[in-house]
């Protein structure tokens, strides 16, 4: 029987709860098909307070040996600035392992009511995950003085832009063959015009895919007014980050928004994590919705080649939500939702 080696980084707050819940569901999905051998790492803001770093110096090399990484959520702004926790763990992992494609699906699960009249949307957002506005290039001078200056440069490389767009085209080809490239090339006349040019160049290789170009502001409106017209969206790191919180909102909330950080070349592990953060306001209360983590787990099984088990997890989630379990905040505990999904898997 195949055994997959998983690195778990539960992180902070509800990240710990939803990781625990997701592993129960994934073990149930594995049944007698395969096994999941998990190793948990305590890297988090609590770890930072003790050790002065978010993960040890050899953290990346340690993770490299695993088949996949599952992360709960990282961040505890009361004790560690978000800029430190994000740049000390999540971003280095995404960059070191070339997890350049961040895949975030947005659709309404059975039984879940979103805030929109539109219900029949199924959007796949592909966010560039390693460069762009989150490259970390910049600096501050004259700190604390009246003439203080802060500079942050977005970096767009041809390699980075080409590979994310190509990934988006491939996803569109496997779905409804419509790709929307999101930029702001009217205002950002270097990087975003470059992005548009590369999109047009690559489109020649995908004549079967219809390509649309939209500005980020127009796309924000479109996702609210006519989300059913969208198929695959490709966007830069910052734009994708923001649009996918909007995507989470229209699918009923952050508790339903899954994400996969993929290394398409598979020369390093990919990482799977719910879109939401550590939710300090509800941490430790057993009320976090674990469905986003379950769905991210299904994406992980799919990536590992266990499509049948991935499908079983998604079906079990929707069996539970169709019965009204976990469809609104506060309706069920984390444990109840987990139990319902496991029961559906084992039925």
Give the binding site for ligand NAD (CB under 6 A).
Answer: 14, 73-77, 82, 90, 254-255, 273, 276-282, 288-289, 292, 329
Shortest distance in whole angstroms from residue 302 CB to ligand NAD: 20
Do the strands 101-107 and 260-262 form a parallel or antiparallel pair, or are they unpaired? antiparallel
Residues 6+ apart with CB under 8 A from 98: 130, 263, 265, 267, 268
| 2 bridge partner residues | 34
Distance of CA 301 to the CA centre of its chain: 15
Distance of CA 117 to the CA centre of its chain: 25
CA–CA distance, 172 with 299 (Å, rounded to integer): 17
- C-alpha closest to that of 47 among 83, 17, 11: 11
CB 43 within 8 A of CB 75: no
Token digits for 31?
A: 């049944």
Token digits for 61?
A: 């090399």
Shortest distance in whole angstroms from residue 46 CB to ligand NAD: 13
Shortest distance in whole angstroms from residue 338 CB to ligand NAD: 12
CA distance to 8, 231, 234, 248, per residue, from 243 (Å): 27, 14, 10, 9
CA–CA distance, 16 with 155 (Å, rounded to integer): 33
CA–CA distance, 129 with 103 (Å, rounded to integer): 10
CA–CA distance, 179 with 231 (Å, rounded to integer): 6
Nearer to ligand NAD, 237 or 289 (CB): 289
DSSP state of 227: G
- C-alpha closest to that of 226 among 214, 241, 234: 214
CA–CA distance, 295 with 9 (Å, rounded to integer): 17
DSSP string covering 255-273? GG---EEE-TT-SS-EEE-
């Amino acid at each position: 029987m195949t055994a997959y080696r998983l690195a778990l980084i539960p992180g902070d707050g509800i990240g710990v709860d939803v990781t625990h819940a997701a592993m129960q569901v994934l073990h149930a999905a594995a049944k007698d098909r395969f096994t999941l051998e998990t190793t948990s790492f305590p890297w988090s803001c609590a770890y930072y307070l003790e050790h002065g770093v978010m993960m040890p110096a050899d953290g990346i090399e340690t993770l490299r040996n695993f088949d996949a990484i599952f992360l709960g959520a990282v961040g505890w702004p009361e004790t560690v600035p978000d800029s430190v926790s994000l740049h000390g763990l999540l971003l280095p992992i995404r960059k070191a392992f070339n997890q350049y494609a961040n895949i975030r699906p947005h659709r309404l699960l059975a039984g879940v009511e979103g805030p929109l009249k539109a219900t029949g949307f199924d959007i796949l957002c592909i966010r560039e995950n390693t460069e762009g506005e989150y490259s970390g290039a910049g600096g501050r001078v004259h700190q604390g003085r009246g003439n203080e200056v802060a500079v942050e440069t977005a970096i767009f490389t041809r390699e980075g832009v080409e590979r994310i767009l190509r990934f988006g085209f491939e996803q569109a080809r496997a779905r409804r063959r419509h790709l929307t490239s999101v930029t702001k090339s009217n205002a950002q006349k270097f990087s975003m015009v470059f992005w548009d040019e590369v999109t047009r160049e690559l489109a020649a290789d995908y004549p079967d895919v219809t390509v649309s170009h939209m500005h980020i502001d127009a796309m924000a409106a479109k996702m609210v007014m006519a989300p059913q017209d969208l198929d695959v969206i490709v966007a830069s790191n910052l734009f994708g980050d923001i649009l996918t919180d909007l995507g989470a909102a229209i699918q009923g909330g952050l508790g339903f928004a899954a994400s996969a950080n993929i290394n398409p070349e598979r020369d390093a592990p990919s990482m799977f994590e719910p879109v939401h953060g550590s939710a300090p306001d509800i941490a430790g209360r057993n009320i976090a919705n674990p469905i986003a983590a379950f769905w991210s787990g299904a994406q992980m099984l799919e990536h590992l080649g266990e499509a049948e088990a991935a499908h079983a997890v998604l079906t079990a989630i929707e069996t539970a939500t169709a019965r009204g379990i976990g469809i609104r905040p506060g309706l069920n505990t984390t444990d109840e939702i987990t139990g319902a999904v496991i029961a559906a898997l084992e039925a």
